Structure formats: C-alpha cells, structure tokens
Amino acid sequence: MTPWPSLVEIPAMNERIMNYHRPRHPTLTNLTALLAATLGLCAIALSGADSDKKKAVWDPAKLPPASDKKDLTYDKDIKPIFEKSCVKCHSGDKPKSKYRIDTLAAAVKGGESGDAAIIPGNSAKSPMVAYISELVEDMEMPPTEKRDKYPALTKEQIGLVRAWIDQGAK
C-alpha cells in the first residue's frame, strides 16, 4: 500500500496538478491567445457578412410612368419584352444572381437576395422596375456592358412592365 503524502509534499503536488494543462512556454500562451482572438474575429465577420449588403434604394419619382393599357398578362405582354433583353441571362440551370425570369412565378419570386423582385400591385417598390429603369447604380438591367447583345428596355416597355405589376402581375 502507498503511504499518504506528507504535509510538505501536498502543496508541491497541488501545484503540479493545477499547471498540468497549461502551456510550458510563454510563446505558446501568446499563440493560444492570438488564435482565440482570430477565431473570434472571423466568427464576428462571418455573422455580419449578410448584414453588410445594402438594400437597393431608388427615387420612385424618377421612374417612367406606367402605361394606361389594361388587362396585361405575363405571357401575352411581358414575356416577349423579357425574351429580348433578359431571358438569355436569367433562365436555365445557372441564371445570373439565381434569378429566373422565364416564368411568371420565378420572375415574381426573386433571386439570391431572398427579396421579391416584383411586388404585385406596387411597381414603384418593385426592385426589378428600378433596375430596368437604371435607377440603381451597378444594377442596371440589362448591364450596360452587354447592351450590344441585349438592348435596354424603352420607356414604353418599362411603362408596360409597371402597369402589369400595378395590375397584380398576372
């Protein structure tokens, strides 16, 4: 049987037990602190990454006026406009910004931002209208550098899109 430690040995044993998991070298202590701080900052940066994205802001007063035409539908009136300037990039398996515009449901839903692109009944607040009207910098649709292939929508076409949205986007 092992004898009990003497009263002199107990403090030394206690010191060894308490320091067992601590790094033996001061540099290791500094590296551990640096690693912990780096991981903490990365976590903070990643958690705030989505909140850094700014929402598009535009002045609705600068939008072209909505058309007076009634009973507009996606298939009859709007899809032909989109097919000339939008569908090539916003359809298929890998649409730009994950935004498909080749069907009514997809066009209303929106893309990777998670926000609706079209707000039925309110064209002035629909981001798509601001983009096709060139009111949001760096979000002009079609992109200015691709206008040789995909023409910009005319004020009349934008007016039809606005009227269609204001009529409920059906």
Count CB neighbours of 35 within 10 A.
10
Q: How confident is the model at residue 51 (pLDDT cuts 50, 70, 90)?
A: very low
Q: Is pLDDT at 36 greater than 80 in this prediction?
A: no
Pick 134 or 44 by higher pLDDT. 134
Task: Kindly report, residue by residue over 133-168, the tens digit of the pLDDT.
Answer: 999 988 999 999 999 999 999 999 999 999 999 999
d(C-alpha 78, C-alpha 72), whole Å: 8
Q: Is pLDDT at 50 greater than 70 in this prediction?
A: no
Task: Kindly report, residue by residue over 100-135, the tens digit of the pLDDT.
Answer: 999 999 999 889 988 899 999 999 999 999 999 999
d(C-alpha 111, C-alpha 57), whole Å: 17
Pick 95 or 44 by higher pLDDT. 95
d(C-alpha 59, C-alpha 133), whole Å: 11
Select from 134, 80, 124 the least CA-distant residue to 102.
80
d(C-alpha 164, C-alpha 170), whole Å: 7
Q: Is pLDDT at 19 greater than 70 in this prediction?
A: no
Q: Chain-wide mean pLDDT for the chain?
A: 84
Residue-level pLDDT at 9: 72
State percent of the chain over pLDDT 90.
52
Q: Residue 168: what residue type?
A: G
d(C-alpha 20, C-alpha 3), whole Å: 23
Residue-level pLDDT at 48: 57
Q: Is the peptide bond before 142 cis (omega within 30 degrees of 0)?
A: yes
pTM of the predicted protein model: 0.68
Mean pLDDT, range 67-89, rounded to an integer: 94
| Of the candidate ranges 1-10, 72-81, 86-95, the one whose mean pLDDT is the lowest | 1-10
Given a contact cutoff of 8 angstroms between Cβ atoms, the answer to whether 66 and 123 are in contact is: yes
Q: Which class for 165: exposed (0-12), middle (13-18), buried (19 or more C-beta within 10 A)?
A: buried
